[in-house]
């Protein structure tokens, strides 16, 4: 039995104990309908109604695609406010790397990937709890230096002689999407570097190590004035769907479900769309 599995087995025991206490309380109050009865006016010791925030406590670990960093960090703060006593810990990175860590046994509660393909790595290994659901989509843009000094206007411009371009690695969702866009435009591009996640590709532009990078529109928006975004029509052929799932051996299954509920709620969707994500 893995450490993650061992920790998960404690949850049914705890829930079972709470259920017994609730049942005893119900029995003791059934003979007295008065609301002044102590048994009728107070919950059993150590138990709370499932619908109350107090049910969700402790730490929750979320593995999420690097492009979700800003919006998920905001949602993490909202979660901790809604559920006092909780702590959200994030591991942001390339979806393929995160998926490999999960299947290797890394303890986590939630996985949010930047593509169905990387999510499939986790679900095929039997590490997902239930079916993943798409919560947002994301589209590519070209990130250039402020003012666009190289006058990049199209995807084809990235193939200009002497232009330095960074792409995400082909195994990473943003890299796979970029390849789809290039194929749609019948273009061939050899970058000066392949980066392991979209934030690393964007940083190459911010540090002026490259003239441009193909990233998500959300990353361009998050960078503010550090870069300038150039949309291109081929990106419509490479829009990525973002799935999210609770993990089978989640150390904190209740918090995992609560965090996913926040992400998919109207408030969660508002944060994500304000960050530039598209509706599911």
Q: Which residues are annotated as a binding site for molybdate?
A: 67, 95, 198, 216
104: left (phi over 0), alpha (psi -120 to 50) or beta: alpha
The closest of 67, 111, 62, 94 to 276, measured between CA atoms, is 67
Q: How do strand 110-112 and strand 58-65 relate by DSSP bridges?
A: parallel
Gap between the Cα atoms of 245 and 113, Å rounded: 9
Gap between the Cα atoms of 243 and 70, Å rounded: 17
**Which residues are part of a known binding site?**
67, 95, 198, 216
Helix runs in 86-208, H state only: 95-103, 116-124, 173-184, 198-206
The closest of 271, 235, 229, 268 to 144, measured between CA atoms, is 229
């Amino acid at each position: 039995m893995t450490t993650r599995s061992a920790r998960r087995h404690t949850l049914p025991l705890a829930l079972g104990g709470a259920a017994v206490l609730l049942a005893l309380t119900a029995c003791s109050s059934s003979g007295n309908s008065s609301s002044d009865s102590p048994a009728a006016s107070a919950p059993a010791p150590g138990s709370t109604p499932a619908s109350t925030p107090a049910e969700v406590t402790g730490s929750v670990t979320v593995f999420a695609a690097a492009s979700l960093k800003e919006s998920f960090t905001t949602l993490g703060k909202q979660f901790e406010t809604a559920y006092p006593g909780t702590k959200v810990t994030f591991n942001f990175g390339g979806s393929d790397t995160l998926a490999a860590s999960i299947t290797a046994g890394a303890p986590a509660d939630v996985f949010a990937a930047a593509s169905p393909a990387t999510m499939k790595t986790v679900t095929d290994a039997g590490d997902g709890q239930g079916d993943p659901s798409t919560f947002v989509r994301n589209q590519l843009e070209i990130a250039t230096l402020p003012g666009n000094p190289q006058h990049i206007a199209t995807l084809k411009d990235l193939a200009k002689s002497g232009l330095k371009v960074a792409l995400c690695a082909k195994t990473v969702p943003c890299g796979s999407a970029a390849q789809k866009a290039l194929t749609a435009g019948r273009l061939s591009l050899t970058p000066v570097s392949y980066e392991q996640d979209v934030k690393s590709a964007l940083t190459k532009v911010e540090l002026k190590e490259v003239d441009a990078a193909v990233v998500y529109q959300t990353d361009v928006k998050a960078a503010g004035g550090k870069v300038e975004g150039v949309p291109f029509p081929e990106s419509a052929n490479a829009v990525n769907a973002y799935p999210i799932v609770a993990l089978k051996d989640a150390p904190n299954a209740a918090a995992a479900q609560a965090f996913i509920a926040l992400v998919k709620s109207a408030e969660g969707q508002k944060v994500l769309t304000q960050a530039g994500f598209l509706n599911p």
